[in-house]
Structure 1
Amino acid sequence: MVSQADLDNYVKSYKEHGFVIVPNLIRSEDLQPLRKAADEVVDRARNGEWKQVRVVGKQFPPWTDVNDIWGVQNIMHPDLGQDIFREWYGRRDMLQVSAALMGCEFKDMQFELFNMLINPLRARYGLSWHRDDVKATATPEEEEAALKIDHHGIQWNAALYDDESLSAIPGSHARIRTPEEREANLSGGAMPGSATLALKAGETVFYNNNIMHVGKYTPENKRRTLHGCYGSPPPGDDTRARNILQHDLSYCRDPRFRELVSDDLKPMLDKLNSWQERFDGVEVGYSQDL
């Protein structure tokens, strides 16, 4: 369990900077088993045996026309047979830190995404600077209004190897872009004030997904970084729907999957599945449609 003093410090840093790096949420004894499972999943994805992947050259779903890949989706899926990912996603200290950062109780949490970010094999690939749920072309007024919306979620990257792929602008989750940042965002130029959120193996960065951030992917450095989120949407609040349901989570609706998850995760999973049922047959759109 994480001490209350540590939780208080994490929450303070997260609110101020829009991110916080937390050590030891991947225990030393779990590092090698997680790496082994990650390599097995990546091998299947690169061999074309697992089709749910993120494709180099495309930042948001849907992903088709696979050549090189920069991510693997839905790594808890039973067809991948990697129980360790499902077990780690339900670790009590992960849930404890996430609930504290969202300002909620365990009972309010929702089961959501668990994917993996990896190095491509052949080409360097860089995402564009973005906020996950605010379009780059938003006017200052639109941006200000969007940033006031509480999306009731927490996003994280947990590194199985040292990882310097993610950069962000500290504090940008709480303000609109400066004119210089906006110009760089739209033109693709160098972003002023950016910082690399460097992780050592075993560290996890939690970040507000409306912080200005970017990922860079290189073949030279092995990357196996667990990437996911939890939510805490109140009843009737669907502001997270587009970001979450653009990823195919139909496997979560299988009763057999529910039997596999821990008791802590079962009520969280039920919340997600109730949410999915409400959106049956409804087009929620993709992130690039913002």
Structure 2
Amino acid sequence: MVSTEDLNRYVKSYKKDGFVIVPGLIRSTDLEPLRAAAEIVTERARKHEWKQVRVVGKQFPPWTEEDDIWGVQNIMHPELGQDIFREWYGRHDMLQISAALMGCELGDMQFELFNMLINPLRARYGLSWHRDDVKATATAEEEEEALKIDHHGIQWNAALYDDECLSAIPGSHSRIRTSEEREANLSGGSMPGSVPVALKAGETVFYNNNILHVGKYTPETKRRTLHGCYGSPPVGDDTRARNILQHDLSYTRDPAFRELVSDDLKPMLDKLNSWQRRFEGVEIGYSQDL
């Protein structure tokens, strides 16, 4: 249970900067079991035994099978057999903090994504500076309108090993880019005002996915960072569909999967599956095809 004082502090920082680092959400007793599960999943993905991966050279879905990867998708999938991921996704502290940051009640949250970010084996790989649901080519007017939209969710990275891959521009979630930021966003040059979001093993950063941010990957530095999100009311909002349903979540619709999740997660899962049924057969596109 997180104290009210800590929750208020986290919320204040999150609203101001667009991200906040929280310690202790990976308990010391869970760190080694989570690392062991991460190795099993990573090895299967690198051997092409698990096809749902993020491939080097492509930042956004859809992804196809390639030799070198920087992420593993849907790590709660029963076929991967790693129950600890499903259990950790439903931990009360994670849900409590996420609800506070989104300004909603725990019971109103929606089950969404749980993936893992890993280091490539061969290639250095850097994403471009981006907001997850605003094109880099957006005009100032388009960007301003897009940033007014509440995407009803919270995104997070939880580090199993020290992680310095993520950088962000504090406060950029609530304003349009400066001319210098826009140029760097489009050209790939140095981004003014950026800060590293360095995590120690066991720390979690929660962030607004429309903050300007970037990830850099090197083969030399081991990365096993849990990467996921939850939704908030109104769950199933159409503006969130591009970001979430571009990832294949069909496994969550199996009634047998529902029996595996905790009681806290069952109503959250039901909201997701109701949403998926509503968009069944609807072409929603991909988040960066806006």
- TM more than 0.5: yes
Shift of 1:160: 0.1
In 2: Cα distance, 1:9 partner to 1:139 partner: 34
Shift of 1:67: 1.5
Matched residue, 2:258: 258
Q: Is the 8 A contact 1:45 1:51 kept in 2?
A: yes
Give 1:74-85 correspondences, 5 Å limit. Answer: 74-85=74-85
Change (3 A) 1:235 1:76: closer
Matched residue, 2:123: 123
**CA offsets per residue over residues 191-233 of structure 1, 9 Å max, x none?**
0000000000000000000000000010000000000000013
Write the letter of the residue equivalent to 2:43.
D
Write the letter of the residue equivalent to 2:68.
D
**CA offsets per residue over residues 119-141 of structure 1, 9 Å max, x none?**
00000000000000111011111
In 2: Cα distance, 1:73 partner to 1:177 partner: 31
Q: Is the 8 A contact 1:25 1:93 kept in 2?
A: yes
How many pairs were matched up? 290
Q: Structure 1-normalised TM-score?
A: 0.99
- Secondary structure of the 1:239 match is helix
Change (3 A) 1:235 1:100: closer
Shift of 1:238: 1.4
In 1: Cα distance, 2:235 partner to 2:265 partner: 18
- Secondary structure of the 1:115 match is strand
Write the letter of the residue equivalent to 1:34.
L
In 2: Cα distance, 1:164 partner to 1:235 partner: 32
Q: Is the 8 A contact 1:159 1:202 kept in 2?
A: yes
Q: Is the 8 A contact 2:236 2:271 kept in 1?
A: no
Give 1:169-184 correspondences, 5 Å limit. Answer: 169-184=169-184
Matched residue, 1:151: 151
In 1: Cα distance, 2:280 partner to 2:206 partner: 30
Matched residue, 2:93: 93
Matched residue, 1:57: 57
Q: Is the 8 A contact 1:161 1:200 kept in 2?
A: yes
Give me the CA root mean square deviation: 0.7
In 2: Cα distance, 1:168 partner to 1:145 partner: 21
Matched residue, 1:270: 270
Q: Is the 8 A contact 1:54 1:63 kept in 2?
A: yes
- Secondary structure of the 2:251 match is helix
**CA offsets per residue over residues 159-211 of structure 1, 9 Å max, x none?**
00000000000000010000000011011110000000000000000000000
Shift of 1:287: 2.0
- Secondary structure of the 1:9 match is helix
- Secondary structure of the 1:157 match is strand
Range 60-69 or range 114-123, more displaced:
60-69
Q: Does residue 1:134 correspond to 2:134, yes or no?
A: yes
Q: Does residue 1:10 correspond to 2:22, yes or no?
A: no
In 2: Cα distance, 1:31 partner to 1:150 partner: 33
Q: Is the 8 A contact 1:151 1:233 kept in 2?
A: no
Matched residue, 1:225: 225
Shift of 1:236: 6.1
Matched residue, 2:110: 110
Percent identity for Structure 1 against Structure 2 = 86
Matched residue, 2:245: 245
Range 200-209 or range 137-146, more displaced:
137-146
In 1: Cα distance, 2:30 partner to 2:65 partner: 34
Shift of 1:118: 0.1
Shift of 1:107: 1.5
Shift of 1:235: 5.6
- Secondary structure of the 1:113 match is strand
Q: Does residue 1:26 correspond to 2:26, yes or no?
A: yes
Structure 2: runs of 5 or more not aligned: none
Q: Is the 8 A contact 2:123 2:218 kept in 1?
A: yes
Q: Does residue 1:48 correspond to 2:48, yes or no?
A: yes
Give 1:186-205 correspondences, 5 Å limit. Answer: 186-205=186-205
Write the letter of the residue equivalent to 1:180.
E
In 1: Cα distance, 2:138 partner to 2:123 partner: 31
Shift of 1:237: 2.3
In 2: Cα distance, 1:93 partner to 1:44 partner: 30
In 2: Cα distance, 1:87 partner to 1:67 partner: 30
